[in-house]
């Protein structure tokens, strides 16, 4: 039997990321799980309008998306609890820059994407930042046959319903292959 939940968004879990931007020429990071893929070469971020990091994204027209591992759970959660207005969260990380030069990235995260801001969509409480991925950086040790192996990355997943963190399970099928037998 189905139970009506109302207008509840159940597209969780989502990957938990650390979004980086320069604010007043200093690197700042914020925890964001409301991320999405607009098309293969772009990402979207849903960020509350009051976040300090938004200032840097709007000013520089760049940002980074860093994927922390489950080993970074304390730092990741902390970056979502404390504002960059009050604390220099970048002190917890080794920051590096790529070709955009204004999208700070975190060395300790095994995957980093530097993005150019393409568009900002204005919602009543949130800014939706849409960015084109300009470059992706990845630690060699999380690659298998030249592809990112998410079992090695061990990303943190977030579920808003009960505000919990989850880890990734195992791969159980190969997309675009498993359904072929239904097409006979």
Please say whether the beta carbons of 45 and 131 come within 8 A.
yes
**How confident is the model over 59-88, as a mean pLDDT?**
97
pLDDT digits (tens, 9 = 90+) for 126-181: 999 999 999 999 999 999 999 999 999 999 999 998 999 999 998 888 888 888 87
Please say whether the beta carbons of 135 and 98 come within 8 A.
yes
Quick one: tokens of 69?
């591992």
Structure letter (DSSP) for residue 145: T
- Which pLDDT score, from 0 to 100, does residue 61 have? 98
Give dist(CA 172, CA 112) in Å, integer: 26
Quick one: tokens of 118?
């393409």
pLDDT digits (tens, 9 = 90+) for 89-115: 999 999 999 999 999 999 999 999 999
Give dist(CA 168, CA 164) in Å, integer: 13
Q: Tell whether domain 14-183 is in CATH 2.30.110.10.
A: yes
- Which pLDDT score, from 0 to 100, does residue 92 have? 97
Give dist(CA 181, CA 184) in Å, integer: 6
Quick one: tokens of 166?
């989850």
């Amino acid at each position: 039997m189905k139970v009506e939940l109302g207008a509840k968004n159940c597209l969780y879990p989502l990957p938990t990321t650390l979004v980086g931007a320069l604010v007043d020429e200093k690197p700042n990071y914020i925890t964001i799980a409301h991320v999405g893929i607009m098309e293969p070469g772009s990402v979207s971020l849903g960020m509350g309008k009051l976040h300090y990091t938004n200032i840097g994204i709007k000013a520089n027209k760049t940002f980074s998306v860093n994927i922390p591992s489950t080993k970074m759970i304390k730092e990741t959660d902390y970056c979502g609890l404390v504002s960059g207005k009050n604390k220099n969260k970048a002190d917890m990380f080794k920051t590096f820059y790529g070709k955009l030069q204004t999208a700070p990235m975190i060395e300790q995260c095994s995957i980093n994407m530097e993005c150019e801001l393409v568009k900002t969509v204005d919602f009543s409480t949130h800014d939706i930042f849409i960015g084109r991925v300009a470059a992706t950086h990845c630690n060699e040790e999380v690659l298998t046959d030249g592809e990112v192996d998410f079992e090695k990355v061990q990303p943190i997943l977030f579920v808003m319903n009960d505000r919990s963190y989850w880890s990734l399970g195992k791969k159980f099928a190969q997309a675009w292959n498993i359904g072929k037998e239904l097409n006979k």
